[in-house]
Amino acid sequence: MQNIIRKNPEFMPKPVGNYSHITRVPKGAGLIVTSGQVGTDMNGHIPSSLNEQITNTFANMKRVLESEGLNEDNVIKVNIWATEEIDWEHFYALWDELFRTAYPSMTVAYISALGWPELKIEIELWCAEV
């Protein structure tokens, strides 16, 4: 089976962040989609700061991937919703730690609220198993 291909065509503007414009999944790959991961810790506590929630969210993303035997190579698309402006320096330090080999496609949206009033960020992962 072929591998997942990530690319940024030369005739397009360079991505404004650490992501790929295109992620091509080979025919016959399995699709795994996670629910949005949020900033709760293992005890269900939700920190008040966005950066602490981001740190917990990335830990939860790693756990959910590992639970299915997946890693960063399997992630093809990430949808990010935040209720306040993201500290990109903090975010990308964790992003680059998780996505060492290839950046998935990404969408970011700022919204007025998430499912619980305390939540400030939610990240959904789309994955392919090849």
Average pLDDT over residues 94-109: 93
Distance CA(116)–CA(79), nearest Å, equals 18
**Residues 113, 83 contacting (CB under 8 angstroms):** yes
Per the confidence metrics, is the pTM higher than 0.75? yes
Query: What's the pLDDT at 1?
Result: 64
Q: In whole numbers, what is the pLDDT of the chain averaged over residues?
A: 95
pLDDT confidence of residue 100: 87
**Closest listed residue to residue 56, CA positions, set 66, 44, 72:** 44
Residue 102 has pLDDT above 90, yes or no: no
Q: What is the pLDDT of residue 67?
A: 96
Break the chain into its structural domains and give their ranges: 31-129
- Cα separation, 6 vs 111, in Å, equals 28
What kind of architecture, by CATH, is found in domain 31-129? 2-Layer Sandwich (3.30)
Distance CA 11, CA 69 (A): 36
Is residue 2 very low, low, confident or very high in pLDDT (cuts 50, 70, 90)?
Answer: confident
Alpha carbon distance 47, 60 (integer Å): 14
